[in-house]
Structure 1
Amino acid sequence: MFFTEDFIHYIWKFRLFDRDNLQTTAGESIEVFSAGLPNSDSGPDFHNARLRIGDTTWAGNVELHINSSDWHKHKHTHDGAYKNVILHVVYRDDEPIVLPDGRQLATLELKDRISPDLYNRYHGLVFGNQQFVPCEGTIRHVDDITLRNWLTRVLVERLEKRSAAVMAALEKNKGDWEETFYQFLAAQFGFKTNALPFELLAKSLPQITLSKHKNNPLQVEALIFGQAGFLEGEWKDEYPQKLQEEYAFLRKKYNLAPVEKHLWKFMRMRPQNFPTIRLAQFAALIVKSNHLFSKMIDIKDVTHLRKLFTDLEVNPYWETHYRFDAESRASSKSLGESSIDILLLNTFVLILFSYGKHNQQEYYVNRSLKLLEKLPAEENNIVTNFGLLGIKVNTAFDSQALLELKNNYCSYKKCLQCGVGNKILRMA
């Protein structure tokens, strides 16, 4: 047999071994009342196990190894963290372990107690040569309840990990949710390629500064384009000249330092996605909607959320331009439906979830998950390949969960920690 120590952990945790006439290698009977709690930190593998060995009932720690001699290899003998180990669970007992006080450590050998069928299913998952995910040949046989419950769990894991960045930003912003939301929303307006300069722009230009000028769209545009570094140099068109003039005054007033222009990317982008157009749209959103965070947490319907981004009054100059001083054929510069949904997915859902977690209000956590069920699934190779395996992918709830499943479980073959993998391993 070939396996990792994780397999022994899995076998012990779920007691998936033959328990008839269970004995230590010294011949004492064993009865397992509780396998204990898995320990993810240093020290013994399971805490607070309860067992009866011989006539004595024990409560303490359990350590697991492939070979009993690994106890010495891992230098546990003189490590105080292991002095309360009550049972050594191993696949193969190749060496009796004698403790410093002369007592032989009680050892359970599993070599002849693991079902060959269970091992074969495990080996097929973890050591097979599948092309996409370890369970690609069997996942279609997993019942829908098991699959959906596990996808919900990994989706929450994904949001919890991503919310750590929200909490860090909230702390820097001294608990100001409006400013934190504004910064995350700005970063998403960069749509990956220009996320960094957009984030730097928002951090260099507080929302409270923009709010002082929301009744003057030209000044809001001047602050945004100026802080983005796009108003340096000389311009032919009247519009950038006016922006430059306004920004010169506002820059001195607020002692602003613009973002370096070279950070913005134009290469291999459709003109509709140029950072200049995204900045113009962002300025229009700031003018249209003040206190966006407060509005967001009060809006329950996805249709009304989308309306926050539709019909933005982008400056007419951009109808015939993608860059300053470079006229182009007239076209609408409104945000498209797919772009709006990406903003909702990556900003509104995340902030709403984080807000609920931070304030221990499950109502907002549940609303964030419900919002994902109202948004369309993303289109990418991972989602497509899961679809080919028979997995229904209807909404962003499904696609986000599958991204987490693939990237943090399947890619690392963490089948023993996966609800789907567990189900497959236990299939008759």
Structure 2
Amino acid sequence: MDERKRHINRLKAGASYFGCGGYLSRIGTLNRLSLYNTLSFERLNRKYGDIKKYYLASDQNWQQTFYIMLLRTMGGMDNKEAFTTLAHRVAYAHILRERMVPQNIEAMLIGASGLLDLYPHDEYILNLKRNFSYLSTKYSIEKMSAEEWRLTKIYPNNHPILRLSQIATLLTHTSDIMDRMLACRSGEDVHRLFSCETLPYWVNHYTPASSKQRTVAKRIGRTKTDLLAINLVAQMQYAYGDYIDNDKLRNKAISLLEDLPAENNSIIAQWKSYGPLAQTAFDSQALLQLSFEYCRHQRCEECPVGRQILSSIERKSDTATEIEG
């Protein structure tokens, strides 16, 4: 086995625990930033490809696409597919037609989810069901099955019904969600946009007709709005900016990621065990691209970091050969 192949195999052997993290922690800041630029733009372009599929499936309607991505991102990892299905069942055009009546938007979203069938009914829930019965006929909305949702091991504040109520409030108070997202320049802007509460009923209920709890504001919290900024707003700014070839929008997306703190998850924690490798969301997005597109598939020869490591080893080997010669 030649020397290069041996080094490639060593990189692949360390891919499962992100072994190149040691190299990233040792190189200069400018060099690391250059690698992060490459990886972050790769990720933004890959996400644009995903967004474009929803755009084409929405009859090339950007408002519907922004709405789909809003619901999908609010669903998190557990329920993003169910939220996406719901966004197709209850179209953004229906939301706009009913937005002057908050209870109607809530009835469409929660009613179409099928989740009300799992819970007992009080007067508020019965009214939601009656409203949905009327609106589903008006707009030909097909109700989902409750089985499409994952409800086990879900924190109360992340329950799909609570998230749908928050979305209903947001869409009631926001006439054009697309324009509002495109206007965001900072994490604080995103927090102000999404920091909305539910309708009053949910202030002391986590699930329908549950026993009343102490009054707790069910506002979308800072952690969630930061994730929305990273995984929704910045991605949509970049995607739409790329679609209309607008550098200002693309740069706004980058600035937003640089304004936000790095994500706090198990993957980023593993990278940070090698040193302070992620300070901003721009950094953590680069490391996620590295993890999912290269390390996971042992694509070390194609990886920007892997190629740089191999080039460094080869240069040292050539220098040693020259000295010996």
Shared fold (TM-score greater than 0.5)? Answer: yes
**What one-letter code is carried by the residue in structure 2 that aligns with 1:188?**
T
**What one-letter code is carried by the residue in structure 2 that aligns with 1:349?**
A
Specify the alignment match of 1:41 in structure 2: none
Aligned mate of 1:261, from 146, 149, 167: 146
What's the secondary structure of 2:238's corresponding residue?
helix
Cα distance, 1:142–1:282 mapped onto 2, change above 3 Å: same
Correspondence 1:362 to 2:247: yes
Specify the alignment match of 1:126 in structure 2: 11
What's the secondary structure of 1:389's corresponding residue?
coil
Specify the alignment match of 1:153 in structure 2: 38
Structure 2 contact 72–81 (Cα < 8 Å) conserved: yes
Structure 2 contact 187–259 (Cα < 8 Å) conserved: yes
Which protein is bigger by CA-based radius of gyration? 1
Correspondence 1:200 to 2:80: no
Structure 2 contact 86–144 (Cα < 8 Å) conserved: yes
Correspondence 1:315 to 2:210: no
Specify the alignment match of 1:328 in structure 2: 212
TM-score by length of 1: 0.68
Correspondence 1:143 to 2:38: no
What count of residue pairs does the alignment treat as equivalent?
312
The within-5 A match list for 1:280-359 is: 280-310=165-195, 312-330=196-214, 331-359=216-244
Structure 1 contact 125–135 (Cα < 8 Å) conserved: no
Q: If each structure's strand is expressed as a fraction of its own residues, which one has the higher value?
A: 1
Cα distance in 2 between the residues matched to 1:151 and 1:137: 15
Give 1:411 deviation, angstroms.
Answer: 3.6
Greater relative contact order, per chain length (Cα 8 Å cut-off, separation 6+): 2
Cα distance in 1 between the residues matched to 2:106 and 2:232: 22
Q: Which runs of 5+ in 1 are unaligned?
A: 8-118
Correspondence 1:408 to 2:289: no
Give 1:388 deviation, angstroms.
Answer: 2.1
Structure 2 contact 71–84 (Cα < 8 Å) conserved: yes
Specify the alignment match of 2:320 in structure 1: none
Q: If each structure's helix is expressed as a fraction of its own residues, which one has the higher value?
A: 2
RMSD value over aligned CA atoms?
2.3
Specify the alignment match of 2:159 in structure 1: 274
What's the secondary structure of 2:206's corresponding residue?
strand
Cα distance in 1 between the residues matched to 2:137 and 2:203: 30
Correspondence 1:210 to 2:80: no
Correspondence 1:245 to 2:127: no
What's the secondary structure of 1:156's corresponding residue?
helix
What's the secondary structure of 1:265's corresponding residue?
coil
> Deviation per CA, 1:371-420, whole angstroms, max 9, x where unpaired?
11111111123212222222431111111101111222234443333333
Of 175-184 and 378-387, more deviation after overlay is shown by: 378-387
**What one-letter code is carried by the residue in structure 2 that aligns with 1:275?**
P
Give 1:287 deviation, angstroms.
Answer: 0.8
Correspondence 1:376 to 2:222: no
Structure 1 contact 146–419 (Cα < 8 Å) conserved: no
Q: Which runs of 5+ in 2 are unaligned?
A: 317-325
**What one-letter code is carried by the residue in structure 1 that aligns with 2:163?**
R
What's the secondary structure of 1:322's corresponding residue?
coil
**What one-letter code is carried by the residue in structure 2 that aligns with 1:336?**
G
TM-score by length of 2: 0.88
The within-5 A match list for 1:82-231 is: 122=7, 125-126=10-11, 132-231=17-116
Structure 2 contact 116–208 (Cα < 8 Å) conserved: no
Cα distance in 1 between the residues matched to 2:90 and 2:245: 31
